Amino acid sequence: MNPDAIVIGAGFAGLSAATALCERGLRVLVLEARPTLGGRATAFTDPATGERVDNGQHVLFGCYDETFLFLRRLGAESLVSVQPQLTVETIDRDGRRSRLKCPVLPSPLHLIAGLMTWDAIGWRDRLAVIRMGGAIRDLQRGPGAVTEETVRAWLERHGQTPRLIEVLWEPLAVAALNQSIDDAAVATFLSVLGRMFGRDPLSASLALPLKPLDELYAIPARHYLERMGGIVETNAAARVHISNGSIEVSVGDRRLTAPVVVSAVPWFALVDVFPDRPSALASILEAAAGTQASPIVTVNLWFDRVVTDGMLVGLPGRTWQWVFDKRMVFGEQASHLSLVSSGAASIVVRGNEDLINSAVDEVRAALPSARSAVLTRGVVVRERRATFSVAPGQPRRPGVRTGIPGLFLAGDWIDSGLPATIESAVWSGHRAAEAALNR
Ligand SMILES: Cc1cc2nc3c(=O)[nH]c(=O)nc-3n(C[C@H](O)[C@H](O)[C@H](O)COP(=O)(O)OP(=O)(O)OC[C@H]3O[C@@H](n4cnc5c(N)ncnc54)[C@H](O)[C@@H]3O)c2cc1C
């Protein structure tokens, strides 16, 4: 095949770009370095249980418009369960359980109404949230001036109480930004809040995959591409060479050309894709090399019985901030929990046994039904470069155009205004495809 477009990288960004190009009639070749598709959102088979284990639990939000568009294209939208209204169960450090349930009202009234009846907080906290309502309404008019203030400093400046920060804002910000609120700059958090509490109350609803991540989108994307005449190659690490304005892609000894090339690799892999350091990309390569990463650690625990009654429980103030029960994926008899620690720089170096013990201790402290259950297996997944840092002073993120005709960039780190998320990746994939089609 002489492709019309070559897409390098088969994560959410590359596969959304490739399928969008295919949808418009282009013959697309996807080159993926690894043996499997999905990049940082994928799954592997656990040899002991035979279960497909995600490399980390992924949560979507109702406001992931580009992601739902992509999943609809693949016929995979029904593989995600979206809450009809934002509902979150939490168990605080004292073991007190509560449920934040936001009624169906215009946004952000639904959040304020939900918080008014949320028994995890007191009246002083509720009054502080009402003050925050004004700030959120301002966000709906746009995120305003970019600020280098940290998330915590901004919340405190807006009168948020220590309790509200601990049980509401910190869990939300750490999950969204994958970074401590003492390190993350507030600008990206404001974009997240602006989207979650935009006009549609469903924007803030949580959405959970009903399948392991590769079955959710990577395998359906491959089928879609192949049905549409595209080709997907794995074990195909690609490099791009630019000479006299023409673009050549190499995979081993093979040399390939196409009118459109989309590089959809993460910021830390960009340097390997452009080994000749083309001068037109100098500032982008420099920014990518100067971008720091933030890790996520996940511990998967299997017990001899079901130990939770909810699919998702927040554990504010603890190392393992969220517990997910995988029954939605594996059926009612499954006892597989996934515990997530985001912004995990301080624990990523700890050994597996230590991490598993700490996760078990916290589950047992929070969930009485886990105390008598027997742990049958624990599996740790460390993603050291899960996301890019959003700390103040990080390099500027590039757009999808490169200044080299025919060459486009995609990836969650492209300047979408969002943190490193599925939505940012798919947004970039769709923008890169549009730019390629419009050239
Ligand atoms: C543990 C974890 C939990 C997360 N939780 C959430 C969440 O709850 N919600 C959310 O929205 N986001 C979450 N994220 C972030 C989300 O996974 C990423 O933002 C998204 O998957 C990035 O997609 P991408 O396509 O930009 O990059 P990637 O997924 O990294 O894909 C890039 C692909 O390029 C390939 N590649 C690299 N170099 C080459 C080369 N030279 N040639 C060919 N191929 C190459 C890589 O192998 C990879 O497959 C999480 C991430 C992790 C790691």
Q: Supply 139's token pair.
A: 């966000």
Closest atom of ligand 1 to 58 CA is: 8
Best of 422, 423, 428, 431 for a ligand 1 pocket test (most atoms within 8 Å of beta carbon): 422
pLDDT value of residue 135: 72
pLDDT value of residue 139: 63
Q: Does any ligand 1 atom lie closer than 6 A to the CB of residue 426?
A: no
Domain borders along the chain are 5-43+65-75+211-291+391-437, 101-201, 293-388
Q: Which CATH class is domain 5-43+65-75+211-291+391-437?
A: alpha beta
Q: pLDDT 10s per residue in the chain (439 long)? A: 799 999 999 999 999 999 999 999 999 999 999 999 999 999 999 999 999 999 999 999 999 999 999 999 999 999 999 999 999 999 999 999 999 999 989 888 898 899 999 999 999 999 998 887 677 666 656 555 556 799 999 999 999 999 999 999 999 999 999 999 999 999 999 999 989 988 788 999 999 999 999 999 999 999 999 999 999 999 999 999 998 889 999 999 999 999 999 999 999 999 999 999 999 999 999 999 999 999 999 999 999 999 998 889 999 999 999 999 998 888 877 789 999 999 999 999 999 999 999 999 999 999 999 999 999 999 999 999 999 999 999 999 999 999 999 999 999 999 999 999 999 999 999 999 999 999 8
Cα–ligand 1 centroid distance for 368 (angstroms): 36
Residue nearest to atom 10 of ligand 1 (CA): 421
Contact residues for 422 (Cβ-Cβ < 8 A; gap 6+): 12, 41, 58, 60, 64, 67, 412
Cα–ligand 1 centroid distance for 95 (angstroms): 35
Domain 293-388, classified CATH 3.40.800.10, yes or no? no
Domain 101-201, classified CATH 1.10.3470, yes or no? no
